[in-house]
């Protein structure tokens, strides 16, 4: 019974919503839309012309100067990066020194590398 009542309400709601009248529309609605579209098509070339002859010449030099400044900044930043990279490359070569193993015989080598003092008396006799 409840289900039938619910179904009845659903059906009546469906019918009521479908039967709502259309909202009124002016008889010249389509003509006004076509007119507005036609005017927009006329305005569009005028807007383009304003952009080319009004806006662009006024702001283009400033825009170009800004682009040039940004490019210069970028080039300088890149040059600094390149210099830094070269410096790092040079340091990295120093890092290829022999390891601490060679210092194992350091004391021996140090003693051997000491040159003996000159024998001055012998030198004088030889002359």
Closest to other proteins by CB, 12 or 48: 12
- 113: exposed, middle or buried (Cβ count in 10 Å: 0-12, 13-18, 19+): exposed
Long-range (24+ apart) CB contacts under 8 A made by 101-105 are none
Closest to other proteins by CB, 26 or 123: 26
Residue 6 CB, nearest distance to other proteins (Å)?
Answer: 8
Closest to other proteins by CB, 19 or 123: 19
Residue 46 CB, nearest distance to other proteins (Å)?
Answer: 16
Chain residues binding other proteins by CB under 8 A are 9-10, 12-26, 29-30, 32-34, 36-37, 40
| Residue 15 Ramachandran class (φ > 0 left, ψ -120 to 50 alpha, else beta) | alpha
Closest to other proteins by CB, 13 or 67: 13
CA distance 76 to 108: 53
Is residue 16 within 8 A of residue 10, CB to CB? The reply is: no
């Amino acid at each position: 019974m409840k289900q039938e009542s619910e179904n009845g309400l659903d059906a009546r709601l469906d019918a009521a919503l479908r039967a709502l009248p259309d909202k009124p529309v002016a008889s010249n609605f389509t003509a006004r839309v076509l007119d507005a579209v036609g005017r927009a098509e006329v305005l569009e070339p005028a807007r383009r012309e304003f952009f080319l002859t009004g806006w662009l010449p006024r702001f283009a030099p400033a825009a170009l100067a800004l682009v040039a400044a940004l490019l210069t900044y970028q080039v300088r930043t890149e040059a600094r990066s390149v210099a830094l990279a070269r410096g790092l490359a040079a340091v990295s070569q120093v890092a290829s020194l022999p390891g601490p193993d060679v210092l194992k015989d350091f004391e021996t080598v140090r003693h051997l590398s000491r040159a003996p003092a000159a024998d001055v008396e012998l030198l004088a006799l030889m002359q």
